[in-house]
Structure 1
Amino acid sequence: GHPTAAAMVEGALRHIRILERMDYRQMVISLKSSDVPLMIEAYEQLADKVPYALHLGVTEAGLVREGSIKSAVGIGTLLHEGIGDTIRVSLTGDPVEEIKAGQTILSSLDLRQFGPTLVSCPTCGRTQVQLIELAKEVEAAISHLTVPIKVAVMGCVVNGPGEAKEADFGIAGGKGKGIVFSHGQVLRTVPEDQLVPSLLEEIEKSLTKES
């Protein structure tokens, strides 16, 4: 039959007791499963029973998109509950994607920051700009930065700055032109093809001011 969380915990405890009898305490415990609810439950049950570090992961999670989501749900739920010390995202794909997914999980819970965060709106009827391409372009343009700033890419000048007023910097596209803004305040209006370079200029300008 299917393994239960209790059985997984019991198995882990059996091995833990063997190591303890040998007076070995340098343990990191992993209760990975490809079943997300089972994995969450097993770690929750074990967390109160042992003082050792817990290594979180959803094993055999699958290809990049589905695997990242499953990992985020499993690992993220536990981290949010204060359970877990190390994490591993397992994906069938380029290992670089595993690192990116892991970093995104940690930064979305405000546990660690790895450079800039990109926020962007979904496309809607007011969008007058190639938003998806623009967001990808901005993501590539800010990838070299190491500061934990929030950068917004919004589809319209009307709602964009207000909706993203928590962003340190942002751009909002309009017909043929757009705006660069910071914390809801418009910094400048520029032609559409100048949006990304102008955004970078404003970011660099503020960074040199601070340092």
Structure 2
Amino acid sequence: MRKKTKEIKIGSVRIGGENPIAIQSMTNTDTRDVKKTVHQIKELESVGCDIVRVAVLDVVAAKAIEEIKKEIDIPIVADIHFDYRLALEAIKHGADKIRINPGNIGGDDKLKAVVDAAKDAGIPIRVGVNSGSLERDILNKYGGVTADGIVESALKSVSLLEKCGFYDIVVSLKTTNVPLTIESYKIISEKIDYPLHVGITEAGTIFSGTIKSAVGIGTLLYLGIGDTIRVSLTGNPIEEVRVGKQILKSLGLSKGGVEIISCPTCGRTKIDLIELAQKVEKATANIKQDIKVAVMGCAVNGPGEAKEADIGIAGGIGEGLIFKKGKIIKKVSEDKLFDEFIKELNDILKEKSL
């Protein structure tokens, strides 16, 4: 069961409480280039991103938030490092949330200025703690980077905000180490009720980063920990959202969209199942209805093993079967198999929309 946390509003999206787990990503464009940034955010929106973060490197980038917001439909988070003035400018120009480290923003007076501005704007602050930037005294106390040290650093940052009378807080504790990240979140989830932003930082390339993120984020979500997630990959941010969606679907934590079941192929497979599965995945990527699709290698196991699928394909020798709920509805030659499958799928989608 998911741990109950405080509800926080980020623009049009609410996280924590009973709200669905929100998927986040971050643009890799120059925020000052409004056109490119808007284009990338719209791409992220199209694949299911709920919240987007942008880097605010200078005042020009902070001011660009105002123009970017006019063109997008999801909340925008300003990522701030060190300079409190950039946080103030980002808030002034419409950021729906800011991400800061209260300990390096420039001192108590400057932190209070940021907090007061966030209060007036009615926006939350995310406290971001990274294992690579822990305070020296904490590193000395624990003899290096440890889960207890990461949590202590986060709680210290939270207390700085609370002393300013600010409680619309989101917390993240990110490391590149999966077990360390899991342990850190487990500890802090027992100490605070603020919503938790979960992820494995600097996870790696699309291949290795997907695996690390799925293990780390998936474990935490299975334990009931996490209110919003960001998959950090070295690649197109769209892949971060796709992976995030699949993690949620794999645990049954999101509704809507296609779940694909496909077999790994074996010596019985006589059609190009790999290409077929990839075509099906691409063709169904943006479907919003909740539907299960199977792409199986042979008629021996196909309809039986995937009988829970709404619709499926089972390969044969130069031909294939199309089945619904385990019942074969037609046999089609391989060259027409994909097109016939799409026709039958569209019929199901029409029925579901009625």
Structure 2 length normalisation: TM-score? 0.58
Note the C-alpha offset of 1:185: 0.5
Gaps of 5+ in 2: 1-142
Rounded Cα–Cα distance in structure 2 between residues aligned with 1:194 and 1:2: 61
Counterpart for residue 220 of structure 2: 78
Higher RCO, Cα 8 Å, sep 6+: 2
Residue 119 (str. 1) matches residue 253 (str. 2): no
Note the C-alpha offset of 1:133: 0.7
Residue 109 (str. 1) matches residue 251 (str. 2): yes
| Residue among 308, 317, 327 paired with 1:185 | 327
Rounded Cα–Cα distance in structure 2 between residues aligned with 1:206 and 1:17: 53
Rounded Cα–Cα distance in structure 2 between residues aligned with 1:206 and 1:178: 19
Closer, same or farther: CA 78–121 of 1 in aligned 2, 3 Å: same
The secondary structure found in structure 2 opposite 1:55 is strand
The secondary structure found in structure 2 opposite 1:31 is strand
After superposing on structure 2, the runs of 4+ consecutive aligned residues of structure 1 that deviate more than 4 Å are none
Counterpart for residue 11 of structure 1: 153
Rounded Cα–Cα distance in structure 2 between residues aligned with 1:42 and 1:209: 46
The secondary structure found in structure 2 opposite 1:152 is strand
| Counterpart residue identity of residue 236, structure 2 | D
| Counterpart residue identity of residue 71, structure 1 | S
Deviates more, 1:94-103 or 1:135-144: 135-144
**Residue deviations 1:104-127, cap 9 Å, x none?**
111111111351111100111111
Note the C-alpha offset of 1:142: 2.0
Residue 68 (str. 1) matches residue 215 (str. 2): no
Q: Is the 8 A contact 2:256 2:291 kept in 1?
A: no
Counterpart for residue 200 of structure 1: 342
Q: Is the 8 A contact 2:271 2:319 kept in 1?
A: no
Gaps of 5+ in 1: none
Aligned length: 211
| Residue among 152, 167, 170 paired with 2:312 | 170
Rounded Cα–Cα distance in structure 2 between residues aligned with 1:2 and 1:152: 48
| Residue among 80, 95, 111 paired with 2:237 | 95
Rounded Cα–Cα distance in structure 2 between residues aligned with 1:113 and 1:170: 20
Counterpart for residue 23 of structure 1: 165
Rounded Cα–Cα distance in structure 2 between residues aligned with 1:126 and 1:143: 28
Residue 132 (str. 1) matches residue 274 (str. 2): yes
The secondary structure found in structure 1 opposite 2:174 is coil
Rounded Cα–Cα distance in structure 1 between residues aligned with 2:350 and 2:290: 15
| Residue among 263, 284, 287 paired with 1:142 | 284
Residue 43 (str. 1) matches residue 185 (str. 2): yes
Rounded Cα–Cα distance in structure 2 between residues aligned with 1:12 and 1:62: 24
The secondary structure found in structure 2 opposite 1:90 is coil
| Counterpart residue identity of residue 143, structure 1 | A
Rounded Cα–Cα distance in structure 2 between residues aligned with 1:72 and 1:207: 29
**Residue deviations 1:7-32, cap 9 Å, x none?**
11111111111211211101000000
Note the C-alpha offset of 1:140: 2.0
Rounded Cα–Cα distance in structure 1 between residues aligned with 2:149 and 2:251: 30
**Residue deviations 1:26-60, cap 9 Å, x none?**
10000000000000000000001001010001001
* Identical positions, percent: 53
Note the C-alpha offset of 1:207: 2.5
Counterpart for residue 293 of structure 2: 151
Note the C-alpha offset of 1:69: 0.7
Rounded Cα–Cα distance in structure 2 between residues aligned with 1:12 and 1:143: 37
Note the C-alpha offset of 1:145: 2.2
**Residue deviations 1:60-106, cap 9 Å, x none?**
10100100110111111011111111111111111111111111111
